[in-house]
Structure 1
Amino acid sequence: MSRPVTIVTGGSRGIGAATCVRLATDGHDLALGYVSNDAAAQEAAQAVRAAGARCVTVRADTSQEADVERLFDTVAAELGPVTGLVNNAGVTGPLGRLAETRTEDLRRVVDVNVLGYLLCCRRAARDMAANGGGAIVNISSAAATLGSPGDYVHYAASKAATDALTVGLSKELGPDRIRVNAVAPGIIDTDMHTTMGDPDRPARMASAIPLGRPGEASEIAAAVAWLLSPDASYTSGAILRVAGGR
Structure 2
Amino acid sequence: MSRPALPASVRRVTVVTGGSRGIGAATALRLARDGHHLGIGYERDEQAASRTAEAVREAGGEAVTVRVDTSEADAVDHLFDTVRAALGPVTGLVNNAGISGPLGRFTETAPEVMRRVVEVNVTGALLCARRALREMSTAHGGMGGAIVNISSSAATLGSPREYVHYAASKAAVDAMTVGLAKEFTGEGVRVNCVQPGSVLTGMHAKMGDPDRAWKKAEVTPARRPGEPEEIADAVAWLLSDEASYTSGAVLRVAGGL
- Which interval holds the TM-score relative to the shorter structure? over 0.9
Select 1:105's aligned residue among 103, 108, 113: 113
1:139 match = 150
Seq. identity, %: 65
Give matches, 1:1-246, under 5 Å: 1-129=9-137, 130-246=141-257
Using the TM superposition, give the Cα deviation of residue 46 of structure 1 relative to its aligned residue in structure 2, in angstroms. Answer: 0.7
Instruction: Give distance in 2, aligned partners of 1:47 and 1:193.
Output: 24
Give the counterpart letter for 1:210 in structure 2: P
- 1:151-206 deviation line (CA, Å, top 9, x unaligned): 00000000000000000000000121100000000000100000111001111121
TM-score (norm. length: structure 1): 0.99
Using the TM superposition, give the Cα deviation of residue 114 of structure 1 relative to its aligned residue in structure 2, in angstroms. Answer: 0.1
TM-score (norm. length: structure 2): 0.95
Using the TM superposition, give the Cα deviation of residue 2 of structure 1 relative to its aligned residue in structure 2, in angstroms. Answer: 3.4
Structure 1's consecutive aligned runs of 4 or more residues displaced over 2 angstroms after TM superposition are none
Instruction: Give distance in 2, aligned partners of 1:39 and 1:214.
Output: 27
Using the TM superposition, give the Cα deviation of residue 83 of structure 1 relative to its aligned residue in structure 2, in angstroms. Answer: 0.2
Structure 1: gaps (5+ residues): none
- 1:209-243 deviation line (CA, Å, top 9, x unaligned): 00100000000000000000000000000000000
Instruction: Give distance in 1, aligned partners of 2:250 and 2:171.
Output: 11
Give the counterpart letter for 1:237 in structure 2: G
- Contact 1:133/1:177 (CA < 8 Å) preserved in 2? yes
- 1:68-93 deviation line (CA, Å, top 9, x unaligned): 00000111111110000000000000
Give the counterpart letter for 1:190 in structure 2: T
Structure 2: gaps (5+ residues): 1-8
Using the TM superposition, give the Cα deviation of residue 3 of structure 1 relative to its aligned residue in structure 2, in angstroms. Answer: 2.6
Aligned to 1:205, what secondary structure does the other structure show? helix
Count of residues in Structure 1 that have an aligned counterpart in Structure 2: 246
C-alpha root-mean-square deviation of aligned residues, in Å? 0.6
Give the counterpart letter for 2:92 in structure 1: G
